[in-house]
Amino acid sequence: MQQVLTELQEAGVENITLNEPMAPYTYWKIGGPADAMVKPETKEQLAETIRILNRHQIPWFILGRGSNLLVADKGIRGVVIRLGEAFEYVRFEDQLVIAGGAFSFIKLSIMASREGLTGLEFASGIPGSVGGAVYMNAGAHGSDVSRILKQAEVLLGNGELVTMTREELQYAYRHSVLHTLPGIVTEAVFELEFGDRKEIAAANASYKERRLRTQPLSLACAGSVFRNPPGTHAAKLIEEAGLKGLRVGGAEVSTLHANFIINQENATAEDVLALMERVKATIREQNGIELIPEVLVVGER
């Protein structure tokens, strides 16, 4: 690892830490340490980081804002990459919104509404990065990224920087080709429409009020844990099964929103995973439906 760190520093990547605890970087506040964390500040540094890690066969993981993410208790072997501040930008060109991969998806929605642009209202409650949203086809309120994305700039796993269209990303429900084609979203271009500022603001306010009323946002949680099965909602199935308040260790199915699991009392990743399995088993037994996790689980168990 020392040779890798030396080469990274020679490539200009100076923000490097070893044995970095991951819990502070996730919404669940759970997770063991990563062997190393690096923070490239430019696309060139990012590409060189990938090349160096690949050359030494060091596994790497790209970390966004830590929503929809569960890091295992033993942490992450290899290197965790966080995009630096140079990737947190946005600019508006008529109906196009160009944003860096590390930019806040919620903030992007707010800024677009102030520009009188409609189409991103659904993002006002999705607490991830632009890159993460593009990666997983994030969505809410009947819309998702696939409906507004024009193209994305992606650094592939071999260090090559390419531009991928919406069609090339092969979007499906909470899925893109990037789940099987390793890559890092460095920039996204969204194509919106001009609308009435008052109507856009009203929609954002309505979504915000609903979130505050129905979701345990003041507690450590990672958003919706399971995908919605076709024709129904995971929260509805879990609530009807009487699982609200079910606990394993410090993890609890929220009594406010059944598809949220909260870190109620120093929960471990194993607590969360065991609780997820109990919920899945109950729904499978009672409804014959296999719930699919929406959260990404990474690291060594």
Tokens of 203: 């929609």
**Is-contact 176 134, C-beta < 8 A?**
yes
Q: Residues 176-180: contacts with CB within 8 Å, 24+ apart?
A: 176/134, 176/135, 176/136, 176/137, 178/134, 178/135, 178/154, 179/135, 179/136
Task: Copy the structure tokens of residue 118.
Answer: 């409609």
Band of residue 282 on the pLDDT scale cut at 50, 70, 90? very high
Instruction: Give the mean model confidence (pLDDT) for residues 117-130.
Output: 91
CATH number for the domain spanning 114: value is 3.30.465.10
Residue ending a domain, among 199, 231, 251, is 199
- The answer on 264 and 253 residing in a single domain is yes
Predicted confidence (pLDDT) per residue in 184-218, tens digit: 999 999 999 999 999 999 998 888 888 889 999 89
DSSP assignment string, 26-83: STT----EEEEEE---SHHHHHHHHHHHHHTT--EEEE-SSTTEEE-TT-EEEEEEE-
Residues 121 and 54 placed together within one structural domain of the fold = no
C-alpha to C-alpha distance for 202 and 115, rounded to whole angstroms: 14
Lowest-confidence region among 102-111, 155-164, 204-213, 235-244: 204-213
Within a domain: 204:
no
- Nearest by Cα to 128 from 165, 182, 183, 83: 83
**CATH number of the domain where residue 280 is located:** 3.90.78.10
Please give the DSSP secondary-structure letter assigned to residue 85. Answer: G
Is 210 part of any domain? no
- Same domain for 189 and 224, yes or no, is no
**pTM for the whole thing?**
0.92
Question: What is the pLDDT averaged over residues 147-159?
Answer: 96
Residue 107, domain member (yes or no): yes
Tokens 């020392």 -> residue: 2
pLDDT score, position 204: 87
Token readout for 127 is 């607490």
Per-residue tokens: 222: 């990672």
Q: Hey, what are 266's tokens? A: 């120093």
% pLDDT > 90, the chain: 88
Q: What is the token pair recorded at 51?
A: 């090349």
Domain assignment present for residue 76? The answer is yes
77 and 92, same domain (yes or no): no
- Kindly state whether residues 155 and 173 are assigned to the same domain: yes
CA 293 to chain centroid:
13
- Say which CATH number the domain at 56 has: 3.30.43.10
Is residue 1 pLDDT above 90, yes or no? no
236 and 264 fall within a common domain: yes
How many domains would you assign to the chain?
3
Are residues 133 and 192 part of one domain? yes
Instruction: Indicate whether 32 and 94 sit together in one domain.
Output: no
CB 250 within 8 A of CB 268: yes
Cα–Cα distance for residue pair 78/59, rounded to 1 Å: 5
Domain membership flag for residue 286: yes
Task: Please name which of 236, 234, 240 lies closest in space to residue 276, comparing C-alpha atoms.
Answer: 234
Torsion of CA 275, 281, 285, 291, to 10 degrees: 100
pLDDT at 5 over 90: no
Phi/psi for 61 (5° steps) reads -140, 135
**Could you tell me if 56 and 136 lie in one domain?**
no
Contact 263, 221 (CB under 8 A): yes
Residue 209 falls inside a structural domain:
no
Q: Quote the pLDDT of residue 38.
A: 97
Residue positions annotated with a catalytic role: 174, 224, 294
Domain final residue, candidates 85, 112, 132: 85
Which of 36, 61, 85 is a domain's end point?
85
248/146 same-domain check = no
Which structural domain range is residue 118 located in? 88-199
In a domain, 208, yes or no: no
Residues 104, 142, single domain; the answer is: yes
Residues 48 and 137 in one domain: no
Instruction: Map tokens 């992606």 to a residue.
Output: 154
